[in-house]
Structure 1
Amino acid sequence: MIERGNPVPSVGIKLVTAAGVEDTTSDAALGQGTVVLFSVPGAFTPTCHVNHLPGFVANAAKLREAGVDRIVCAAANDHHVMKAWAEASNALSDVDFLADGNAALAKALGLDKDFSANGMGTRYARAAAIIRNGVFEAVFVEDAPGVTASGAPAILMALQATA
């Protein structure tokens, strides 16, 4: 699993932003400035849609005040689903979306999780990270269902502790 001090790996992804969809690499998308990356098992899934993403949208201004340049949500969904979720959540002005349809980045980060029992295949574990200039500074992985360690309030506290 990715740890503090590890660089962002270079994996092909699709980045969904307010400007559209772009083919890029994970290191290009996450490698400059201070980035908060949070990963979810799936777009539109109940906890992700109702609890995880909305917390980052609601706290986007506070995260920026704490020095965050970019907030990015990653999921093992295709870019069409990620774009639809971003639009339906009115999140594109605050959050960029990383579409990792084959979970290649999830695997490279060691955040891949088998959700086959639920018919969802390989997905991301629910997690969040603070990345500074392409290097992981802190990683928070949920060890139980729900959003606690990887939610926006926890990330804000971690940012304030390192300020």
Structure 2
Amino acid sequence: MAIQVGDRIPEVNLQRIRNGVEVVDTPTLFDGKKVVLFAVPGAFTPTCSERHLPGFVQHFDQFNARGIDVLCMSVNDPFVMQAWGQSQHVPEGLLMLADGNADLTRALGLELDASGYGMGMRSRRFALYAEDAVVKKLFVESPGEFKVSSAEYMLGELAEPV
């Protein structure tokens, strides 16, 4: 069953690159914080590279000004996520997280079988907002769509009381 508003973010390890590969757990990323996590089916793929990540890069300062951390996740390895972040000029503070084995993706119940496209198990495209590791808003895209997980949509949703 997919995660719902009111559920806690599952405890899972992800990876990122800072001074080498670093393991970071979800409690470290979410506990005591306001966080937007958005996930893409794959780094360097067309919609993800042309619209999804660029929107969060463009509006990063608006989230930051509201005290909201921004995390980008994909079922890719940390080296791919680092390279993708560099190619997209991701600002320091917007974390590029690798869910290489789809552990968080599966724990959230948001996996996507993209085997038909040669991509294996991936994450569905989604965005969520959590406070102190509790999901307050969740927007999961229908297959092939990009409407409700964009930075602009999330900013609009966060303009309302949470």
Q: TM-score range by the shorter chain?
A: over 0.9
Q: Write the letter of the residue equivalent to 1:38.
A: F
Determine whether 1:48 maps to 2:48: yes
- Quote how far apart the aligned CAs of 1:32 are: 3.1
Structure 2: distance between partners of 1:64 and 1:148: 22
Give deviations 1:37-88, integer Å, cap 9, x for gaps.
00000000110001000000001111223331x1000100000100111111
- The 3 A distance-change label for structure 1 pair 113 and 72 is same
5+ residue gaps, structure 1: none
Give the TM-score normalised by structure 2: 0.93
Q: Is the 8 A contact 1:103 1:122 kept in 2?
A: yes
In the alignment, what sits opposite 1:122? Answer: 121
Identity level (%): 38
What is the number of residues matched between the two proteins?
161
Q: Is the 8 A contact 1:129 1:138 kept in 2?
A: yes
Q: Write the letter of the residue equivalent to 1:127.
A: F
Structure 2: distance between partners of 1:105 and 1:71: 16
Structure 2: distance between partners of 1:24 and 1:103: 15
Structure 1 stretch 83-92 or stretch 119-128: which is displaced more? 83-92
Structure 1: distance between partners of 2:117 and 2:137: 30
Determine whether 1:14 maps to 2:15: yes
Q: Write the letter of the residue equivalent to 1:153.
A: E
Q: Write the letter of the residue equivalent to 2:102.
A: A
Give the TM-score normalised by structure 1: 0.92
Q: Write the letter of the residue equivalent to 1:90.
A: H
Q: Write the letter of the residue equivalent to 1:152.
A: A
SS at match of 1:63: helix
Q: Is the 8 A contact 1:8 1:31 kept in 2?
A: no
Q: Is the 8 A contact 2:16 2:82 kept in 1?
A: no
Structure 1: distance between partners of 2:25 and 2:79: 18
In the alignment, what sits opposite 2:64? Answer: 64
SS at match of 2:73: strand
The RMSD of aligned alpha carbons is 1.5
- Quote how far apart the aligned CAs of 1:136 are: 0.7
- Quote how far apart the aligned CAs of 1:20 are: 5.8
SS at match of 2:160: helix
Q: Is the 8 A contact 1:106 1:112 kept in 2?
A: yes
